[in-house]
Amino acid sequence: MLKLPVVWADGCLEHVPGAEIWVGVRTPGTELPERATLIRDAVVRAGARLVPAAAHGDDVLELVHDKAFLDHLANVYVAWEEAGFPVDPGQDRVVPYVFPTAAMLAGMPERVPVAIHARAGLYCYDTMTLVGPGTWTAARAAVDAALTAADLVAAGEPVAYAICRPPGHHATRAGYGGSCYLNNAAVAAVALRRAGVERVAVVDVDAHHGNGTQALFYDRGDVYYGSVHVDPGAGWFPHYLGFADERGTGDGAAHNRNVPLAPGSGDEAWLAGVAEVCADVAAFQPGAVVVSLGVDAAADDPESPLRVTESGYLRSGALVRELGVPVVAVHEGGYHLPTLGALTVATLLGLTGTAGEGSAP
């Protein structure tokens, strides 16, 4: 039996990406609304109690993200529609076509372009992460879910879990990508800091490196980030970040830890990575942990080559539980519809110590 509050927000279903443009080709995409309903139904069947997300103001969100970025995300779809793109050339999702990377600017000043199809490239770093009419509603609802879970833990719950969709760990202070728009885990971490927790650690078990969360806390001594993920150096998203030598800077020096794994790695290597991050976290002595709970490291997942089992996910939860501090778990990736509910339940069983094995004394 699962004994923990699970935060649910109906608004998370409003985001319908419609497609992912990958290497210029329109593909169906895997970050679907039914991911959230499948997870919800699985955790309820396992005995968890659903708690509706409470609406929160923007104060914590604005500590994590740039105000101009938030305004852009909130308004870009309507601007896209008003500019006529759904009719001509027939694109009903926001897809940038020019990006102000260093390759283009070459050190010249960055401007905010007037054309909406150009401005989209200022805040978005890939072609896979489409914005539709419900994207902002859903991303904002996911933030409310993460904040509600953080509130529950601040009020004394040992573990709370938020079914956040769209996911968040690839979103930076002023940029979206990797199917992520707003960084739900970072918002939860900052909310815990504001609730008086002096040090917060983020443990990211999603198959991909959470480049957004890393970047947000890279120079901070009060929020640790640790991640176990498929090696970007072996050719995997996010490609440019997630290497072992990224250790933090300034006050954040040694407070960032990446454990990249070879494609094909299974429970043994993955759990050794999670244990390594947890040992680091224990030395950091946080007052609370945020888990970026992605279940896409599983063997059947279409988006990653890692081969973690359900039992591996359960044991990863137990490793975090053994840290002995309160946990806010925030959903990230996981795209294999037949198994993502069971993988999530397994992780939560490990986190709450109700699985009958691997639980803390």
Which of 97/240 has CB closer to Zn ion? 240
Binding partner at 305 among ligand SP5, Zn ion, none, C-beta below 5 to 8 Å by kind:
none
Distance in Å, CB of 71 to ligand SP5, minimum = 24
Q: 43 near 137, Cβ under 8 Å?
A: no
Residue 152, class by beta-carbon neighbours within 10 Å (0-12 exposed, 13-18 middle, 19+ buried)?
buried
Beta carbon nearer to ligand SP5, 22 or 240 = 22
Intra-chain end-to-end CA distance of the chain, in Å = 18
Task: Decide: is 212 part of the binding site for ligand SP5 (CB under 6 A).
Answer: no
Options 127, 135, 179, 256; binder of ligand SP5; rule CB under 6 A: 179
Cβ closest to ligand SP5, residue 246 vs residue 296: 296
Shortest Cβ 336–ligand SP5 spacing (Å): 12
- Which of the choices Zn ion, ligand SP5, none does residue 243 contact, using the CB cut-off of 5 to 8 A by kind? none
Q: Can residue 296 be called a binding residue for ligand SP5 (CB under 6 A)?
A: yes
Stretch binding ligand SP5 (CB under 6 A), from 146-154, 175-183, 221-229, 353-361: 175-183
- Identity of the residue, 217 or 237, whose beta carbon is nearer to Zn ion in the bound complex: 237
Of these partners, ligand SP5, Zn ion, none, which one is at the site of residue 22 (CB under 5 to 8 Å by kind)? ligand SP5
Burial class for 108, CB neighbours closer than 10 Å (0-12, 13-18, 19+): exposed
* Cis check: omega of the bond before 89, within 30 degrees of 0: yes
Contacts of 261 (CB under 8 A, 6+ apart): 228, 229, 230, 231, 269, 270, 273, 306
Least CB distance from residue 357 to ligand SP5, whole Å?
28
For residue 204, state whether it binds ligand SP5 (rule: CB under 6 A): no
Interface residue with ligand SP5 among 38, 51, 147, 180 (CB under 6 A) is 180
Contact 1, 354 (CB under 8 A): yes
> Using CB under 6 A, which of 294, 312, 317, 353 touches ligand SP5?
294
274 contacts 228 by C-beta, under 8 angstroms: yes
**Position among 212, 294, 326, 341 found at the interface with Zn ion (CB under 5 A):** 294
Distance of CA 125 to the CA centre of its chain: 16
Cα–Cα distance list, 67 to 45, 144, 187, 308 (Å): 40, 17, 14, 38
Those residues with Cβ within 8 angstroms of residue 132's Cβ, 6 or more apart along the chain or in another chain: 15, 16, 17, 18, 77, 92, 93, 94
In Å, how far are 87, 116, 189 from 169, measured between CA atoms?
33, 25, 12
Angle at 291 between CA 290 and CA 296, to 5 degrees: 155
Our finding on whether 208 is near ligand SP5 (CB under 6 A) is: yes
Binding-site ranges for Zn ion (CB under 5 A)? 206-208, 294, 296, 333
Binding-site ranges for ligand SP5 (CB under 6 A)? 22, 27, 128, 167, 170, 178-180, 206, 208, 237, 294, 296, 303, 332-333
